[in-house]
Amino acid sequence: MNDLNRYKELKEVIWYHNDRYYNQDNPEISDYEYDMLMQELKALEIKHPEYISDDSPTQKVGGEAKREAGVLVKHNVPMLSLQDVFSKEEVEEFIKDMKEQLEDPTFVVEYKIDGLSLALRYVNGKLDVAITRGDGILEGEDVTVNAKVIKDVKKTLKDPIEYLEVRGEVYMTNEAFDKVNEMQEIKGKKLFANPRNCAAGTLRQLDSKITKERDLSMFVFNIQDVRGKEFNSHSEGYEYLKQQGIKIIEDYKICKTADEVWQAIVAIGENRDKLDYDIDGAVVKIDSFADRRKLGNTAKVPRWAIAYKYPPEEKETKLLEIELSVGRTGRITPTAIFEPIRLCGTTVTRATLHNQDFIDDLDIRIGDTIVVYKSGEIIPKIRRVVKEKRPAKSVPYVIGDKCPVCGAPAMRIADNADIKCTNHSCPSKLIRNIVNFVGRDAMDIKGFGFAYVETLVEHGYLKDLSDIYGLIDKRQELLDKKIIGLVKSTDNLLNAIEGSKNNDASKLLTSLGISNVGKSAAKSLMKKFKSIDNLMKASYAQLVEVNDIGDISAMAIINYFKNSDNQAVIQRLKDYGVNMEVNEEADSDNRFEDMTFVVTGTLPTLSRKQASELIEKHGGKVAGSVSKKTNYLVAGENAGSKLTRAQSLGIDVINEETLLEMVK
């Protein structure tokens, strides 16, 4: 790939991850991985300054203002990003640059809190409005009601000066975060990935009671604007804020030399484990306000400050045991169970070991001291074994040749690292097959959760997929034994099962769990073959003619339907009245065939899911991100970075009204 194509690709990828981080509070990659992408982009811009355009992520702050939490408010002072650096040499270069431009500058080094930026405006000593960063330049969200229930936000100042605007970081302590996730688990809701995501989502809640319950915290780290009083320096401003009862970053260091600055950064890094909240770096900033004004800002960052980013966090712990589980395909997965450690704001005790090859490559043994890190700040992974701390009598770990659940023979698949249970009736395989079958992207049987599946398998009611549709005949027995619950719970589930019989055959095909046949491939297959019966008779040559179906997928389909057990399950499903054919009415209109859409923002009448289903009903494909292959972007309010990317790529942007016109 040449430099220009790589540059365009990097812009697209970074804008996608900006959207996930700033606007969806749901990042897919770690800060470190994101920073490396930005560093690569910046290097290309230095090499090719002619590439730089207004839509480059280096020229804009990553977020966008949203309406969900309230009205939009214009920024009086931009809430800019900071220039990131990753080495001692870069820090020294910054200090040298400042000394060349300023006369005897003083530096402040302080924690970089991992949270959500918030500006507080005080008028005559009273909190007037609280604003999120939003787009960083023009406007942010008014979250004043929520800010007022944060214990660290001062509602009234001791000194009622004319106007004061401060900027800080809203965050969650580790203890508060653990309590929120504990409550999420009790309620059966999705857990938050890390404290930063939880804090961001909580600040944007429409119900301030929820914000208060989740116990947010806040540090103030800058005076943005002031009238009625004068400050000469950042440190002087800090002392004033402390007198007003405003919580600031206390452990800041005043430095004069590059060596002092670096020692302060090192000290903060060494202290990270002792804090009850997350930091992701150290900030180095010029102390004098006059010097700051002299240096000014770029379009994105102040010239008078940098953020040193620490390497990804990793810790040592002791491997206690290796747990083996069996998936729906029979694949045996080893998982490391270790002494609890805290990484990126969460307590972790488990990490996947993937397969025997992975275990052998790292030479992992029970009792070993291992180094664990977080990939994407979400998924724990094992970096290495500390072999000098290995117990004297440790032995290599071998998964073995028997299934850990049913005891049947387990075999390694040729040309593959996986070891699989050979028993088609293995309870663990069955449970996961049924969970897949009833899931949202498959037969979508509402209310049929893992717990019900596990209970019904354990009590012998489900021996294969087809048994799901025989549960209606055992209604009274299920009620008498309280297998599912009371009458309402039982009837709701049985009714949902009966209703799923009418699903389009593409959903049934998706639910069978054939390797490499997901939702998209199932739709393509059913579009060509029209029924499960026809698909079962299809030849290899016919299968590979279908989009999304290659050699491996074609052979997986043929092998699945060759299996006599699978044939028997299909026949029983048919006998129970499960639909085996495509809905010809839905399939008759393929006006969006070979077209790719992306849906973003808030549409006037349709949800994103409804809009996506409408597009798919007419033969179109809906993607999650904008690329060169996108034909149309369906944009509503707050379309954000996806809209920017679509415009930069020359992709047609339409609204809901136009989409509805297109399907008339």
**Numbered residues of the known binding site for NAD(+):** 31-35, 81-82, 110, 133, 169, 285, 309
Tell me the binding residues: 31-35, 81-82, 110, 133, 169, 285, 309, 403, 406, 421, 426
DSSP class per residue in 445-500: -TT--HHHHHHHHHTTS-SSGGGGGGGGGGHHHHHHTTSS-SHHHHHHHHHHHHHG
Contacts of 540 (CB under 8 A, 6+ apart): 554, 555, 558
Catalytic residues: 112
562-571 long-range CB contacts below 8 Å, 24 or more apart?
A: 565/424, 565/464, 566/512, 567/536, 569/464, 569/465, 569/466, 570/532, 570/536
Residues 6+ apart with CB under 8 A from 245: 154, 157, 158
Minimal CA–CA distance to 33: which of 94, 108, 84, 96?
A: 84
Scored b (16 or more CB within 10 A) or e, 538-568 reads beeeebeebeebeeebbebbeebbeeeebee
Give me the sign of the Cα torsion angle 57, 63, 65, 67.
positive
Alpha-carbon gap, residue 160 to 145, rounded angstroms: 21
Kindly give, in sequence order, each residue whose CB lies less than 8 Å from that of residue 563, ignoring residues fewer than 6 positions away.
none
Euclidean distance between CA atoms 634 and 629, whole angstroms:
15
Cβ atoms 277, 173 nearer than 8 A: yes
Is the CA virtual torsion 467, 472, 477, 480 positive or negative? positive
Quick check: helix, strand or coil at residue 263? helix
Residues 6 or more apart in contact with residue 190 via CB below 8 angstroms: 184
With beta carbons less than 8 A apart as the criterion, state whether 641 and 621 touch. no
Helices 641-648, 3-18: axis angle to 10 degrees equals: 160
Task: For residues 41 and 493, give the distance between their C-alpha atoms in angstroms, rounded to a whole number.
Answer: 52
Give 234-239 contacts, CB < 8 A, sequence gap 24+.
Answer: 234/108, 234/285, 234/286, 234/287, 234/288, 234/289, 235/108, 235/287, 237/289
Beta strands 83-85 and 305-309, pairing class: parallel
Distance, C-alpha 169 to centroid of its chain:
21
